[in-house]
Structure 1
Amino acid sequence: MSSSTPASRRTVLVTAVTAAAGLALAASPALAVPVRGRTTGVPGTPTESDTISRHSWTSRRDWRAGLHEGVAPTPGRRAGVRLRTPQGTVDYQDPHGGTTTTVWEYARWTGPVRVLPQPATEVLPSWNAHTPPGTWLRVEVRVGYTTGGRSPWYVLGVWASGDGPDVPRRTSVDGQKDGVTSVWTDTVTLDDSAGRARIGSVQLRAVLLRAPGCDAVPVLWRLAATASALPDRFEVPPAPPGLASGVEARVPHYSQNVHIGRYPEYDNGGEAWCSPTSTQMITEYWGRRPTPEELAWVRPEYDDPQVCHAARRTYDYQYGGCGNWPFNTAYAASYRDMQGVVTRLASLEQAELLVAAGIPLITSQSFLAKELDGAGYGTAGHLMTLVGFTDEGDVISADPAGRNNADVRRTYPRRAWENIWLRTKRYNENGQVRSGTGGVCYVLFPLRPSAAQRHALHALGIR
């Protein structure tokens, strides 16, 4: 989004109609021995009260550690799990009318309980997968509480690579809560009424599904979760310009606004397409883009049809928009040998570590027009790219809110941009306190990054 007065991301969620999307799956017991989360000392943590931990399952060792129910390791060089032997069938009726199929074969992988190094208040999951026609994926999260007990299995995504009539429509699931935590589209969040309880552990589960009689095989390459407990803050300490000063990634420039009014079924282009437009720019930076056959559905008079394609492939039918964070990283990772995660960074210094290695970011922020010189707009929620820094350390963004493609490259004052991205509290135009995103970003990178890129990713606990 990029207007001055739209409803906030979470306000939209609260007022959305709850969709019934339950799979009749019996819960699997958690593995008996919790695995302590991997953490890495990283530069630039603003305060000792910040806690961000990143957890991922990507290696053959990671996948072996889980509970296998009808899944098997993937062959070849890329580690993952695939549907091998269906464990039975489950019922799922698509609430959004994408398919008439209601019975599905399934297999399931359940990860071990990951004990967090510090208690958290939010968990952001993400995944990378390939689901051929007739197959799809359901990602679930269960959290344990420091006061005892645990949540039910929350559904964080019903997802498919495509959107043909043989699979359910891509969707989040509203209305999930247990009195301690709630799901807000793509995030598990501690409720205000939770008292002393905090999230002390996280467990992920993936259900791979296909229509009976279908022999296509869905594959899961990555599961990830970022757990965090950020303090309430209207301002963050400044980080001085660092090793990325003078570095700029050469990304293509696409404006969301040239698409205003296009495809109402995918939320009309314009400000609603900031996330897929940003995702498409960075995906193409890595040399991946849709084929002419994949773009054949776009009206021929529309320029930049790949942005329309990205909007279609990231659209969340329950949320009613293209801003579902893990749907965007999953879309980018649907291209050959690409990966993507949703995470938080604790400082601009950490962002510079990635940018200096040639890994541009996609960042989430909200601000008033007067808070960011050069923007010319205010927003209750907007995605833009962070592609570099000037010699003086100011931020270079390919901002999809530009009027046209030539207006997309922007330079923003370092201190102002840093604060609006990293803060967790802000004032809206009416002086009311609202939430900030606290350093949320998408990190997209290839399966085989360079040595420098791999070093930067691993330094931040991304692998």
Structure 2
Amino acid sequence: MDRADRPDRPDTMSRRSVLATAAALTALAATTGPALAAGGTAPARRAPRADRFVDNRFWSSYEDWRAGTAEGAAVVTGGRTGLRIAKPAGRTDYTDPHTGRTAAWEYARWTSPTHRSTVPATEVIASWNARTPAGTWLQAELMATYADGSDSPWYVMGRWTSGDDKETDIRRTSVDGQTDGKSTVWTDTLSLDDATAGPRVVSYRLRLTLYRAPGTTATPTVWRLGAMASAVPDRFTVPASAPGVAKELTVPRYSQEIHVGQYPEYDNGGEAWCSPTSSQMIIEYWGRKPKPEDLAWVDPSYADPQVCHAARQTFDYQYDGCGNWPFNAAYAATYTDLQGVVTRLASLTELEQLIAAGIPAITSQSFLKEELTGAGYGTAGHLMTVIGFTADGDVIANDPASPSNDAVRRIYKRREFENIWLRTKRYNSTGKVVSGTGGVCYLYFPVKLGTAQRQALAAVGIR
């Protein structure tokens, strides 16, 4: 699926569309700012760069929430600013497609102002940070405006809950089958049907609906909502980058492979858990862990029960897997004062800047066995945790597709890694042209950051 997925899932399952033509380079470069010098320090705010085909916009501050339109939702302060239900705006029934159970829910709603992307986009991915007590949930939607002036319908980008009570909570789910003839939602991504000739997405609005059981006072709390719009040039290879500063972060090492056969109801067990396993590594790097009661359901004979927990908490019942990108970011943000976003990076230089500031990243890539020396496998979509760079500029990764925790730390050749991660097109094992991820990554980071960390995130458009 060219996403967070089991390493041996076949290339024919790829769902990512071709993103853009190389002609977009000239059109977009004329409207963007100068490139960042390799190894340079970025200021907190800067103009978009000619080599970045990514636009991020996240709402998280008091001013951000107040700028939107609220229907029964209110901003709460005192510690961490967020959005909650103040007074329900209405009531509706929802039939859970995965249980068949129909229930009534009260709801409140918030709609963002229109955001005009700095990049006429071929893909848009929304993500959010929230906590939903038992009996509450949220729905995130996106309406795109195309270059021809028309609007998409309100696309559901996810129905999500941090709870997992089989009696009171809905099943966490993406929504398939959404299209308007110009774009289609594939699990977690709005993608143009014709990225070459079709009208690009030039702006969008996000809509957040918060639900709770009628007559209760429980409410979801949402701290961050936003989206990443992108138009990565169509390419089989990417320009080589020069090595920067060598550094390695101390990140816990977890193997998905030691969980093979465990809890197959969650995406066939450990062999498909690269995304939640990677997420758990970085969550624990930042000093967060599940509580003992969160792990009470896990067989006590299983090692690293927190990985099993992460798989369960990221499972998308429609996608039938743990590889929904925003669901992983949302899971990370359920931990105290931790934030998570889905974005794209433009180069290994940007990733080096994040590592230098102490921020590891989870990258998504697809490749043939012979394209990544030392991996020992090929994949249509796999997540790894990048934790550093060697003096020669090679990538140090915690690769969960390893036989043991001790074997997780790998060193991959710089040129090979940057190409399989940043390209948008590739050849699969049968010689068919399929898509690549174009630099997709998850970034998790705490609310309280040092100056260097804020600057590194701002340099890649995350604020």
Aligned residues: percent identity?
60
Please list the CA deviations of residues 73-126 of structure 1 after superposition, one character each: whole Å capped at 9, or x if unmatched. 11212122111100110111111118x451100000000110112311000110
Aligned to 1:364: 364
> TM-score when scaled to structure 1?
0.91
1:40 Cα deviation (Å)? 8.3
Q: How far off is 1:193 after superposition?
A: 7.8
Of 43, 51, 54, which aligns to 2:36? 43
User: Is the contact between residue 72 and residue 87 of structure 2 (CA under 8 Å) also seen in structure 1?
Assistant: yes
Deviation at 1:458, TM superposition (A): 1.4
Would the aligned equivalents of 1:108 and 1:208 in 2 still touch at CA under 8 Å? yes
Residue in structure 2 matched with residue 151 of structure 1 by the alignment: 152
How far residue 270 of structure 1 moved from its aligned partner, in angstroms, is 2.9
Where does residue 53 of structure 1 map in the other structure?
Answer: 55
Secondary structure of 1:294 counterpart? helix
Hey, what's the Cα distance between the residues in 2 that align with 1:342 and 1:271? 23
When structure 1 is superposed on structure 2, of 72-81 and 387-396 the one drifting more is 72-81
TM-score normalised according to structure 2 size: 0.91
SS of equivalent residue, structure 2 residue 292: coil
| Corresponding position of 2:83 | 81
Question: Structure 1 318/411 Cα, relative in aligned 2: closer, same or farther at 3 Å?
Answer: same
Q: 1:6 aligns with which of 5, 10, 16?
A: 10
Query: How much has 1:214 moved relative to structure 2?
Result: 1.9
Measured in 2, the distance between the counterparts of 1:328 and 1:129 equals 12
Aligned partners of 2:424 and 2:438 also within 8 Å: yes
- The 8 Å contact of residues 43 and 349 in structure 1, kept in 2 or not, is answered as no
What pairs up with 1:114-125 in 2 under 5 angstroms?
Answer: 114-125=115-126
1:42/1:55 CA distance change after superposition, 3 Å: farther
Structure 2 counterparts to residues 86-235 of structure 1, below 5 A: 86-97=88-99, 100-164=101-165, 165-192=167-194, 195-235=197-237
Structure 1 residue 336: deviation in Å? 0.4
Instruction: Specify the SS of the correspondent of 1:92.
Output: strand
Task: Tell me the distance in 2 between the aligned counterparts of 1:354 and 1:9.
Answer: 32
What one-letter code is carried by the residue in structure 2 that aligns with 1:402? S
> Does residue 1:411 correspond to 2:411, yes or no?
yes
1:243-262 maps to which residues of 2 (within 5 A)? 243=245, 245=246, 247-262=247-262
Report the counterpart of residue 34 of structure 1 in structure 2: none
* Alpha-carbon distance between aligned partners in 2 of 1:8 and 1:341, rounded to the nearest angstrom: 28
Q: Which residue type is aligned with residue 72 of structure 2? A: G
- 1:442-457 mapped onto 2 (5 Å cutoff): 442-457=442-457
Partner of 1:22: none
More deviation in 284-293 or 191-200? 191-200
- Deviation at 1:264? 1.4
Matched, 1:237 2:239: yes
How far is 1:6 from its partner?
Answer: 2.3
DSSP 3-state at the match of 2:293 = coil
Kindly indicate whether the alpha-carbon contact (under 8 Å) linking 2:182 and 2:198 is maintained by their aligned counterparts in 1: no
Find the aligned partners of 1:313 and 1:289 in 2 and give their Cα distance. 13
Q: Secondary structure at the match of 2:70?
A: strand
Aligned counterparts of 1:447 and 1:253: Cα–Cα separation in 2? 24
Deviation digits for residues 152-177 of structure 1 (CA, Å, limit 9, x no counterpart):
00001000011112111000000000
Quickly say closer, same or farther: Cα 1:277–1:321, change in 2 above 3 A: same
- The equivalent residue for 1:433 is 433
Q: 2: distance between equivalents of 1:43 and 1:402?
A: 35
Relative to structure 1, the CA distance from residue 259 to residue 376 in structure 2 (aligned partners, 3 Å threshold; closer, same or farther) is same
Residues 342, 440 of structure 2: 8 Å contact kept? yes
* Distance in structure 2 (CA, Å) of the matches to 1:249 and 1:416: 21
* Residue type of the alignment partner of 1:177: T
Matches within 5 A, 1:292-331: 292-331=292-331
Q: Write out per-residue CA displacement over residues 180-239 of structure 1, whole angstroms, 9 at most, x where no aligned residue.
A: 010000000000288341101011110000011221121110011111111110100011
Aligned length: 435
Alignment of structure 1 residues 264-303 onto 2, 5 Å? 264-303=264-303
Distance 1:111 1:324, change over 3 A: same
**Matches of 1:43 and 1:430 in 2, distance apart?**
39
> Can you list the C-alpha shifts for 1:418-444, whole angstroms capped at 9, x where unaligned?
110000000001111010000000000
**d(CA) in 2 for partners of 1:226, 1:280:** 23
> Cα–Cα, structure 1 residues 169 and 42, in superposed 2: closer, same or farther, change >3 Å?
farther
- Structure 1 residues 8 and 64 mapped into 2: Cα distance closer, same or farther (>3 Å)? farther
Q: Is the 8 A contact 2:85 2:220 kept in 1?
A: yes
What is the rounded CA distance, in whole Å, between the counterparts of 1:190 and 1:137 in structure 2?
Answer: 25
Query: Structure 2: which amino acid aligns with 1:43?
Result: L
CA–CA separation in structure 1 for the residues paired with 2:424 and 2:196: 19
User: Cα RMSD between the aligned structures?
Assistant: 2.0
What secondary structure is seen at the aligned counterpart in 2 of 1:404?
coil
Q: How does 1:8-27 map to 2 (within 5 A)?
A: 10-11=14-15
Partners of 1:193 and 1:454 in 2: how far apart?
33
SS at match of 1:411: strand
In the TM superposition, what is the alpha-carbon distance from 1:44 to its structure 2 partner? Answer: 6.8
User: Matched residue of 1:309: which SS?
Assistant: helix
Quote the residue 2:355 is aligned against: 355
Of structures 1 and 2, the one with the larger relative CO (CA 8 A, separation 6+) is: 2
Q: CA deviation at 1:331?
A: 0.1
Unaligned runs of 5+ in 2: 18-31, 39-47
Maintained 8 Å contact 2:365/2:436: yes
Q: Which residue of 2 aligns with 1:402?
A: 402
Q: Partners of 1:425 and 1:331 in 2: how far apart?
A: 30
Contact 2:14-2:380 within 8 A present in 1 as well: no
Name the CA shift for 1:109/1:42 in 2 (closer, same or farther; >3 Å). Answer: farther
The answer to whether the 8 A contact 1:170-1:317 is kept is: yes
In the TM superposition, residue 341 of structure 1 has moved relative to its aligned partner by 0.1
